[in-house]
Amino acid sequence: MSESTTRLKRATIFDVAAEAGVSRGTVSRVLNGEPYVSAAAREAIEAAIAKVGYVRNTAARNLAKQSSGAIALIVHEPDSVFIDDPNIGAILLGANAALSAADYQLVSLIIDTERDSHRVTGYLGGGFVDGAIIVSAREDDPISQAIADLRLPAVMVGRPDNQPQLPWVGIDNRGAARQITERLRGTGRNRVGMIAAGLDRDSGRDRLAGFREAMGEAFDDTLVARQRFYTYAAGVAGMAELLRIDPDIDGVFAASDAIAAGALETLRNAGRAVPRDVGIVGFDDSSWALRAQPALSTVRQPAGQLGARAAELVLEQVRTGSLASNGALLSTEVVWRDSA
């Protein structure tokens, strides 16, 4: 009676062994699907497991096996802007699918404050996970250093500047930026600028570099509006700045679709028609691209594959202790729609 109200002690292998009339060793063997167990024993044990309601204590298992079967995915967005990042969800889903196929558990950790950063470091060192995927780390990220110290198998999504020894997967931001800028220029624009963002990460800097390359001689640094975040608001502000600097601007490469959408609003309010007066292209091919008016020409980023590939590389390290290659570049695709 009182059993049902007080918190019952959870059954252990001991209880199962006693119930089935065998030793703990044998129970452990059937639990792990090992051979050399008689059918009779197996049956008795399975019945006992069901009867006593046994579930394995993974903390104990981890301790004994020195591994956890889990991989962390760390999202580091100290400014809480990741809510609007269209890629992170897809990266997560891709990583989850790849790990799931290998029967690993993905656990996502978010770092929002300095305090989070410390706590997560402790968590990573605590045997909770066998490896880690780091998303959207910034230049000065303490986590990547901590991971290196812990010798925890890890891979970054995006190319790390300060941790050259960390394996990574990413896209060729520079090449993609160059391609779409060239295409934009090809529509006969003469004065083309850029709304850049995220210049504290490699992705942001590389997109700017690609733009500069594509512009060649025509590059004009005053026509680069530098914003902090990849947001709609940044697009609104950045476009206003560009119009102020050069009212005759007729082409804009926005560092993200959200920025492009914001720029569209500014242009609309300024009475400029897109693509007639001004051609604009974005980056990501997120949901912003299709919903914008007009629909955005942009670069498709294989976010899901990014996550999946990162997961595979972590698993390779976990299993073999090392990695065949040290980085992977996934290919992008220019998607041409109506905005330029």
Binding site for DNA (CB under 7 A): 9-10, 12-14, 21-26, 28-29, 31-32, 35-38, 40-42, 54-57, 60-61, 63-66
Contact 252, 234 (CB under 8 A): no
Residue 140 phi, psi dihedral angles, 5° rounding: -95, 20
Considering the complex, state which of residue 102 and residue 329 has its C-beta at the smaller distance from DNA. Answer: 102
Which among DNA, a copy of itself, none contacts residue 52 (Cβ within 5 to 8 A by kind)?
none
Euclidean distance between CA atoms 213 and 286, whole angstroms: 25
Nearest to 54 by CA among 19, 26, 21, 2: 19
Binding test (CB under 8 A) with a copy of itself, winner from 32, 34, 50, 126: 126
Tokens of 51: 């009867």
Binding test (CB under 8 A) with a copy of itself, winner from 116, 139, 213, 241: 116
Long-range pairs of 18-23 with CB within 8 A, sequence gap ≥ 24: 19/48, 19/51, 19/52, 20/44, 20/45, 20/47, 20/48
When asked if residue 125 is in the footprint of a copy of itself (CB under 8 A), the reply is: yes
Considering the complex, state which of residue 136 and residue 181 has its C-beta at the smaller distance from a copy of itself. Answer: 136
When asked if residue 323 is in the footprint of a copy of itself (CB under 8 A), the reply is: no
Beta bridge partners of 225: 195
Tokens of 320: 């073999």
Nearest to 208 by CA among 191, 221, 189: 221
Considering the complex, state which of residue 116 and residue 241 has its C-beta at the smaller distance from a copy of itself. Answer: 116
When asked if residue 61 is in the footprint of a copy of itself (CB under 8 A), the reply is: yes
Complete DSSP assignment for 294-320: SPPBEEE--HHHHHHHHHHHHHHHHHH
* 217-276 positions binding a copy of itself, by CB under 8 A: 232, 261, 265
Query: Minimum distance between the CB of residue 19 and DNA, rounded to whole angstroms?
Result: 12
Binding test (CB under 8 A) with a copy of itself, winner from 31, 41, 107, 328: 107
Query: Minimum distance between the CB of residue 248 and a copy of itself, rounded to whole angstroms?
Result: 26
Euclidean distance between CA atoms 38 and 113, whole angstroms: 54
Considering the complex, state which of residue 58 and residue 187 has its C-beta at the smaller distance from DNA. Answer: 58
When asked if residue 108 is in the footprint of a copy of itself (CB under 8 A), the reply is: yes
Nearest to 136 by CA among 198, 225, 72: 198
Quickly list H helices, 229-275: 232-245, 257-269
Query: Minimum distance between the CB of residue 151 and DNA, rounded to whole angstroms?
Result: 14
When asked if residue 24 is in the footprint of a copy of itself (CB under 8 A), the reply is: no
Considering the complex, state which of residue 41 and residue 97 has its C-beta at the smaller distance from DNA. Answer: 41
Tokens of 260: 């492009």
When asked if residue 135 is in the footprint of a copy of itself (CB under 8 A), the reply is: no
* Binding segment (CB under 8 A) for a copy of itself, from list 59-67, 136-144, 170-178, 179-187: 59-67
Q: How far is CA 266 from the centre of its chain?
A: 30
Query: Minimum distance between the CB of residue 64 and DNA, rounded to whole angstroms?
Result: 3
Euclidean distance between CA atoms 174 and 329, whole angstroms: 12
Residues in contact with a copy of itself by CB under 8 A are 7-8, 53, 55-63, 68, 70, 80, 82-84, 86, 89-90, 92-93, 96-97, 100, 103, 105-110, 112-113, 115-116, 119-120, 122-123, 125-128, 149-151, 232, 261, 265, 287, 291, 293, 321
